[in-house]
Amino acid sequence: MIYPLPSWVYESVIYQIFPDRFAIGKGKTVHDKAHLYTKRGGKIVEWNTLPKHKPNIEHCFEFYGGDLWGIAEKIDYLKDLGVNLIYTTPIFLSPSNHKYDIIDYMKIDPQFGGEAAFKYYLKKAKENGFRVMLDGVFNHLSKENKWFKSALRGKKEHLAKFSFYKNGYRAWQNVDGMPEWNWEETPVREYLLNVVEHYLKMGVDGWRLDVGFDVGYVNNALITSRAKSVSTEKYVVTETWNFPSNWEVVDGIMNYHFRESVIGWLNDSLKNIGYALQSAYDKTPNIYGCWNMLDSHDTQRIATVLPDKDLRKLAIALQFTYPGVPFVYYGSEIGMEGGWDPENRAGMIWDEKRWDNDLREFYKKLIKIRKTETALKIGTFEVINDEPLAFLRKAPYVLDDVIVVVNKSEKQEIALSVPDGRLLAGTCFVDLFTNEEFWIVGGILRINVPAKGFRILKATNKTKGNYNQYKRIY
């Protein structure tokens, strides 16, 4: 069954947090909490230490001390930025810092403050107008899980919950510490679906499904159905790294196709950005529920991939104007850099002297525009020029139309044919960043675009006196 997208999703801007690396709450340091890590064999690390890849995945057991108390204390920072949907990577009991190897889904990890911290964080977020999403790792778990350990000992009641071979068991990407659940067994399905339901009933607004492609279409559909049984306003997004179509069983996917297309175009390896974006829009019915990714805990940071800040701003502008939900990875708004995991998971920089404040203000302005403009939230999408890239976001009401132009080369003057017959001659398009004005005549809009620049142009009715040529145009 395909469900309508919850109305609040159209208004959302996501902020992803890797809890161990965002903020330590209650005035503590990682040293104050050392026993929570060392008793499980972990190592504590100073906040400003840059994470590095180490043999035998030792970096997965280095802890910086971030917790849910810390996230709650930084709500005002997030509110000032303008984001309104917080997605955290897993928070359940687990031996690692990333917690994609869950021991117990019904326990919030004490390293993050336990259930008390979770309830406080949820309450604080809700009081300040935020939605909250959790990370559902339902394909695999930790080998320290009691059921799996029981199955290893040959207990029949747990053997079928996993897939054992003659010389081992099925594990995610053959990682020994992450055995896979056997979703084909009814007790497994019911247990995991009950986990989904439990946290939604506590007030969580949705789930991101880890490695949704491994979980499969049928089980993604089951999870979505269970979530919607709690409320049709719950939101389910799955992780998949392919072209975004064929995943209508969920509300949306993490749109890495968007990321690869935009970065490829700006790095000159992908030539037809218009086709890439248009085909994804045309073939993806749930595109408005998909996440417009530029970076995440699984990729290099966007500042590392696009060190030229002017080009990076073009990518960010596209992220906020393409159909879908804009997605900000913690620290990207202040220019944090980082390579592949674990380098992309450094401690959040809280020293404001180290912030790129120009970039942060740029994000704030785009977030405000995105949340204000109807066309950018619900408008249709049509590419109207290839180089520079230009597209029309057509809104239900003509004077909400927005045209976006993105130019990665030298300054250009162009004429755009705008395929909306409701736009009358003499309609003014105002640049929402610069307040410059351009006029459309005969369906042709003539504009200039700065080098490595962009325009977000909003249709307006500027006429003299009381005359209104749009009085009978819808």
Q: Would you name the residues annotated as active-site residues?
A: 210, 239
Task: Label the pairing between strands 427-431 and 437-441.
Answer: antiparallel
Residues pairing with 17 in the sheet: 88
Q: Are 463 and 469 in contact (CB under 8 A)?
A: yes
Q: How far is CA 235 from CA 9, 30, 131, 313, in A?
A: 8, 34, 10, 29
Q: How far is CA 373 from CA 144, 236, 369, 408, in A?
A: 49, 24, 6, 24
Residue 388: is the preceding peptide bond cis (ω within 30°)? yes
Question: b or e along 380-417 (b: 16 or more beta carbons within 10 Å of the residue's beta carbon)?
Answer: ebbbbbebbbbbbbbbeebbbbbbbbbbbeeeeeeebe
Q: Are 108 and 91 in contact (CB under 8 A)?
A: yes
Q: How far apart are CA 326 and CA 302, in angstroms?
A: 14
Eight-state DSSP code of residue 353:
G
254 half-sphere exposure, CB direction, 13 A CA radius: 26
Nearest to 64 by CA among 38, 78, 46, 84: 46
Task: Label the pairing between strands 402-407 and 389-394.
Answer: antiparallel
Q: How far is CA 126 from CA 236, 342, 344, in A?
A: 19, 31, 28
Nearest to 307 by CA among 272, 356, 348: 356
Using DSSP's 3-state secondary structure scheme, residue 70 falls into helix
Nearest to 62 by CA among 32, 91, 83, 40: 40
Nearest to 460 by CA among 363, 366, 373: 373
Eight-state DSSP code of residue 440:
E
Q: How far apart are CA 139 and CA 151, in angstroms?
A: 17
Which residue in the block uniquely carries the two structure tokens 């747990």? Answer: 158
Q: Are 172 and 139 in contact (CB under 8 A)?
A: yes
